[in-house]
Amino acid sequence: MNLPVISGTGVFTPKESIGNDELVAAFDAYVDLHNAQNAQEITDGTQERLEYSSAEFITKASGIESRYVMNKSGILDPKIMRPQLRQRTDSEPSIMAEMALDAAQKALAQAGVDASAIDVVIVAASNHERAYPAVAVEVQALLGTGGFAFDMNVACSSATFGIQAASDMIKSGSVQRALVVNPEICSAHLEWRDRDCHFIFGDVCTATVLEAKDSARDGHFDILSTRCATQFSNNIRNNDGFLRRTRPDNMKDRRDMQFMQNGRKVFKEVLPMVSAHMLGHLNEEQIAPDSLSRMWLHQANKSMNDFIGRKVMGRTPTPEEQPNILQDYANTSSAGSIIAFSKYSDDLQAGDIGIICSFGAGYSVGSVLLRRA
């Protein structure tokens, strides 16, 4: 059996970012506009009066201070309140493929692997730009990789589930090298007019190169094991999909055509599920939780990560043991834990053990146990 390793990662970060203060200023301007335009309906009780957002609330409730986005002007325009991305022609690279290309090239350079040596490309993300052909097949063509490619979606756990799929293929010998890419344009399926969630997400793309240990260059991370779990829940849901145009009202701007969540319930239900999952995985591998050198957790909420860190380690982890990037990137769905891994893993010494863990809609939880070679 081949031993799978991670030999490179790369992050594409969009050029534009939005801080909490400017986000709230734009949201509040939208609130004024909405309340003025619907004054009569609000008085009649047929329309809801909207409340202002608060930068202080956002930082306190989530730990998020800023987010990167693919288009800032549309999101901050109170008359638009969503990103505006140019429609590409069919002969141009799609937006997700372009993001993927940048992150993939960085990951391949770190691994010292030529694109032509990759046998499978998996584009694992919460949303894909089109129904078909798979974005992964386009990325394969743009990079010039061999073999085959496919898309997959397990919401926030897409990256870790993709890593498990690639790792298992390497173990079985069906592929020698794999590329898992996570282009997340969360801004396009976030409702920026809803104060309960308008601050949560950002855009980014991460890429991970996996290969059999015998061909990997020094400094890689051995994949000791992976563990995935799912449990159905409606608490994080988006009802958009290809059946939309078959419904009588087309439902274009209906609230549930964007990201919806019951944040409090997610908090309460996902925390014990994730802590038990991580402790179970460590127990299976006979690794003492407090001997972990690092936890690269899903980046949704700082209090959530603090809770999981304490529960798993049995003490409060240091910021070095459990690094967060959500203050700068916000929740980038499946890419969050991979950004944390990519930015905070270089300093680990040979033999040090760390765990990547993602969690989110589904519910889904995925963990990848790594040892620095």
Residue 189 binds to ligand CO8 (criterion: CB under 6 A): yes
Cβ distance to ligand CO8 smaller for residue 50 or 368: 50
Query: What span, in angstroms and rounded, lies between the C-alpha atoms of 268 and 307?
Result: 11
Query: What span, in angstroms and rounded, lies between the C-alpha atoms of 330 and 97?
Result: 22
Query: What span, in angstroms and rounded, lies between the C-alpha atoms of 325 and 176?
Result: 31
Give the one residue of 266, 338, 355, 356 binding ligand CO8; rule: CB under 6 A.
Answer: 266
Pairing of strands 353-360, 148-152: unpaired
* Contact map string, positions 308 to 337, toward ligand CO8, x by CB under 6 A: -----------------------x-x----
Residue 122 binds to ligand CO8 (criterion: CB under 6 A): no
Tokens for 334, please give them: 């499946």
- The phi, psi pair for 291, rounded to 5°, reads -90, 0
Give the one residue of 108, 155, 163, 297 binding ligand CO8; rule: CB under 6 A.
Answer: 155
Q: Which of residues 334-363 bind ligand CO8 (CB under 6 A)?
A: 360-361
Give the one residue of 301, 322, 324, 342 binding ligand CO8; rule: CB under 6 A.
Answer: 301
Residue nearest to ligand CO8 as judged by C-beta position: 360
CA 34 to chain centroid: 31
Q: Which of residues 205-244 bind ligand CO8 (CB under 6 A)?
A: 236
Cβ distance to ligand CO8 smaller for residue 11 or 178: 11
Residue 193 binds to ligand CO8 (criterion: CB under 6 A): no
Other Cβ atoms closer than 10 A to 148:
14
Pairing of strands 221-230, 364-372: antiparallel
- The phi, psi pair for 351, rounded to 5°, reads 95, -20
Give the one residue of 122, 159, 186, 365 binding ligand CO8; rule: CB under 6 A.
Answer: 186
Residue 62 binds to ligand CO8 (criterion: CB under 6 A): yes
- Cα dihedral: 345, 348, 353, 359 (round 10): -20
Residue 23 binds to ligand CO8 (criterion: CB under 6 A): no
Tell the smallest beta-carbon distance from residue 177 to ligand CO8 (Å). Answer: 28
Instruction: Based on the residue annotation, tell me whether 156 is a catalytic residue of this protein.
Output: yes
Q: Are the CB atoms for 189 and 171 separated by under 8 Å?
A: no
Q: Are the CB atoms for 308 and 298 separated by under 8 Å?
A: no
Residue 256 binds to ligand CO8 (criterion: CB under 6 A): no
User: Quick check: bond before 30 cis, omega within 30?
Assistant: no
Residue 192 binds to ligand CO8 (criterion: CB under 6 A): no
Residue 82 binds to ligand CO8 (criterion: CB under 6 A): no
* The residue count for the chain: 373
- List residues near ligand CO8 by CB under 6 A: 53-54, 57-58, 61-62, 126, 155-156, 186, 189-190, 195-196, 199, 201, 236, 259, 261, 263-264, 266-267, 300-301, 304, 331, 333, 360-361
Which residues are marked as active site?
Answer: 156
